[in-house]
Amino acid sequence: MSYFIKISVLFLVFINFSDLQAQEFISSQLKGTYTKDQLNAQYGPFFENGVKLYKILYTTPDLQGLTDTASGLILVPERPNAVMPLLCAQHGTVSSKNDVPSNLQGGFELGAVFAGVGYVTVMPDFLGLGESRGFHPYVHAESEASVSVDMLLAAREFAAQNNIALNDQLFITGYSQGGHASMALHREIEQNQSALFTVTAAAHLSGPYSISGVMRDLIIGDSEYFFPAYIPFTIISYDEAYGLFDSLGAVFKPIYASMIDKFFEGTFSLTTLNNLLIAALEQNNGASIPKYMFQDSVLNAVINDSNHPFNVALRNNDVYDWAPQAPTRIVYCTADDQVPYRNSVVADSVMNLRGAPDVMKIDANSTPIMADASFRRSFRRISFLTNIEIFRRVLIRLINS
């Protein structure tokens, strides 16, 4: 082998090794504590220990493969000398960049519930949120999985540095967007990262798993939908990942494009955008039907061309067409009008068809909503509280089985 070839081989080995070592734990900061009594008073009398909450920083690749600094929350049970399992809990859709677990917002309470019964709980903020730069790639399966794998690796290093003993168990959970993210992480670990982790059990909750099917039907359908801001959020995210369009005006009608652009720039929160879109759709079309936001040419192309770049992007982010090997529960709410429950039914059906050994769907609340729009808009908060309790019971049953 010539000297040049030897040097070239060594260079390639170095590059590959560097890529494998790209994830790095940077730092931790104590953000607060809960005593056992505080947890029992706030969430119910079933907690066994207090909890310490730490914000951590770690490196992870961004959408372009460049190193970014990401943040997240680790919740550590106060159980001296205990050997504890690791649990990754993925947060749901948040309204702004700082509305995240590491800031003790963004649904961090779910992590406190699990840490309070003995599980070292990891909650990634995700790319583009918290300390990470750029726009958040919403319901983008690849980055949801990669940022979570890297935080789990950072959590192991954090634990080693702080004398926190972990066993080999890993549990995965998530709610709403977090359900999509937890399913993406579960798939990534079982299919590509099994040398690093083994999933012990998973419970995915109310997630949009069928992006190109159930969610696409909602986007192009004729039904009212009171969360239209999720749609441009998704489309902008996929444009960031795949490069789908040149301008928002090429996709959305002018009145909607101007609002969406302010959200993209950070002037509007997601909540503000949602309220404005509902008002504009109701004024211009008589009802909050999302398809009327789109330019007619774009809508027709998406409906009629299955290989339109938008449809390809949607398919790339489906997370249900595989067979989990770990025990898996898909918890949903039939009455949920934010993420249609058919996502869970489809996922359960396909996974079992693919030969998954232990996948089961569970309806946490089948009570139909027969009320006005203001009640329906607040219902997700009610179902969140109900589902936390259902979710806790389901996961603890899996843990103890």
Report pLDDT digits (tens) over 276-333.
999 999 999 999 999 999 999 999 999 999 999 999 999 999 999 999 999 999 999 8
- Domain final residue pick, 316, 333, 366: 316
For residue 120, CA distances in Å to 40, 54, 87, 391 come to: 18, 11, 6, 17
Q: Are residues 156 and 58 part of one domain? A: yes
Total structural domains in the chain? 2
Distance CA 100, CA 92 (A): 9
Q: Are residues 307 and 218 part of one domain? A: yes
pLDDT digits (tens, 9 = 90+) for 20-72: 446 899 999 999 999 999 999 998 888 989 999 999 999 999 999 999 999 99
Structure token digits, residue 190 = 């079982």
| Cβ atoms 319, 185 nearer than 8 A | no
Of 196, 182, 202, 222, nearest in space to 90 by CA: 182
> Which distant-in-sequence residues (6+ apart) come within 8 Å of 145 by Cβ?
181, 184, 185, 187, 188
> Which distant-in-sequence residues (6+ apart) come within 8 Å of 361 by Cβ?
329, 330, 331, 332, 344, 345, 347, 348
pLDDT of residue 40: 94
Domain assignment present for residue 111? The answer is yes
The model scores a pTM over 0.95: no
- Domain final residue pick, 252, 285, 316: 316
Q: Are residues 158 and 52 part of one domain? A: yes
Q: Are residues 229 and 124 part of one domain? A: no
pLDDT digits (tens, 9 = 90+) for 182-203: 999 999 999 999 999 999 999 9
CA 118 distance to own-chain centroid? 23
Q: Are residues 292 and 241 part of one domain? A: yes
Q: Are residues 392 and 268 part of one domain? A: no
Which CATH number belongs to the domain containing residue 254 in this structure? 1.10.260
Structural domain of 194 = 22-210+320-400
pLDDT digits (tens, 9 = 90+) for 227-284: 999 999 999 999 999 999 999 999 999 999 999 999 999 999 999 999 999 999 999 9
Domain assignment present for residue 292? The answer is yes
Q: pLDDT band at residue 366, thresholds of 50, 70 and 90?
A: low
| Residue 104 predicted with pLDDT over 70 | yes
Alpha helix stretches (DSSP H) within 141-176 = 141-161
pLDDT digits (tens, 9 = 90+) for 351-361: 999 999 999 99
CA 323 distance to own-chain centroid? 20
- Domain final residue pick, 316, 344, 364: 316
Domain assignment present for residue 133? The answer is yes
Domain assignment present for residue 15? The answer is no
Q: Which residue has the higher pLDDT, 373 or 212?
A: 212
Single-letter residue type at 335? A
Question: Cα-flanking dihedrals φ and ψ of residue 204, to 5°?
Answer: -100, 135
CB 366: neighbour CB atoms within 10 A?
A: 10
pLDDT of residue 392: 52
Q: Are residues 186 and 77 part of one domain? A: yes
CA 133 distance to own-chain centroid? 17
At which residue do the structure tokens 């890529």 appear? Answer: 19
Distance CA 178, CA 121 (A): 14
Domain assignment present for residue 376? The answer is yes
Q: Mean pLDDT in the chain?
A: 88
Q: Are residues 60 and 89 part of one domain? A: yes
pLDDT of residue 5: 35
Which CATH number belongs to the domain containing residue 354 in this structure? 3.40.50.1820
Distance CA 270, CA 135 (A): 13
Domain assignment present for residue 149? The answer is yes
Q: Are residues 118 and 230 part of one domain? A: no
Q: Are residues 205 and 267 part of one domain? A: no
Q: Are residues 330 and 200 part of one domain? A: yes
Q: Are residues 137 and 31 part of one domain? A: yes
| CB-neighbour burial class of residue 369 (10 A; exposed 0-12, middle 13-18, buried 19+) | middle
Domain assignment present for residue 56? The answer is yes
